[in-house]
Amino acid sequence: MMRLDHGIERGRRIQIILDGERVDVFEGETLAAAMIEQSSAFRRDSNGMARGMFCNMGTCGECTVTLLPGGQRVRACLVPAQVGMDVTRD
């Protein structure tokens, strides 16, 4: 996934944990944006097919992830990345 890098103001580089691995993201961008930079496939469906971002506006629920250690289920497209977040995809 290619990012725009001119004429854009972003938060500082921070690290979150995604599926147990440290990844660099921009503070304040959505978790979905951070995830899509890693891979456009967010999960595999029951037939083994890759599924990724769909609506990016909180409607479809495709990007739902679990926040550790609390276990809250949130829509990654609505939640800003913050230092130290621990995120698990399905």
Partner 1 sequence: MGGGLIGCATAWRLAREGAKVTVLDSGDFGMGASGQNAGSLHFQLERRFLENGDALAEQATRTAALNRLAISDWSSLEADLATNLHITMNGGLMVAETAEECALLELKIARENAEGLRTRMIDGHEARQIAPYLSEAICAAGYSPDEGHADARLVTHAIAIAADKTGALLRPRCRVQSIRRVCREYVVRTAAEQFAASQILIACGAWTAHVAAMLNLHVPLFPVGLLMNATERVAQVVPHLVQHVGRRLSMKQTHSGNLLIGGGWPSRMALDAEGRFTLYRPPAVIEASLRGNLRVAIDVAPMVATINLVRSWTGITAISADQLPIVGEIPAMPGCWVAGGGSAFTLGPTFARLIAQSMSGTKCEELEIVAPSRFAHLNSFMGQ
- For residue 56, give both structure tokens: 């990016």
Give the span between the Cα atoms of 58 and 35, in whole angstroms. 15
Report the candidate in 18, 4, 20 with the shortest Cα–Cα distance to residue 79.
Answer: 18
Whether residue 80 has a cis bond before it, omega within 30° of 0: no
Decide whether 28 or 61 has the Cβ nearer to partner 1: 61
Are the C-beta atoms of 22 and 83 separated by less than 8 Å? Answer: no
Decide whether 34 or 65 has the Cβ nearer to partner 1: 65
Interaction pattern, residues 45-74, with partner 1; x per rule: CB under 8 A: xx-------------xx--x--------x-
Interaction pattern, residues 1-40, with partner 1; x per rule: CB under 8 A: ----------------------------------------
User: Which residues contact partner 1 by CB under 8 A?
Assistant: 45-46, 60-61, 64, 73, 90
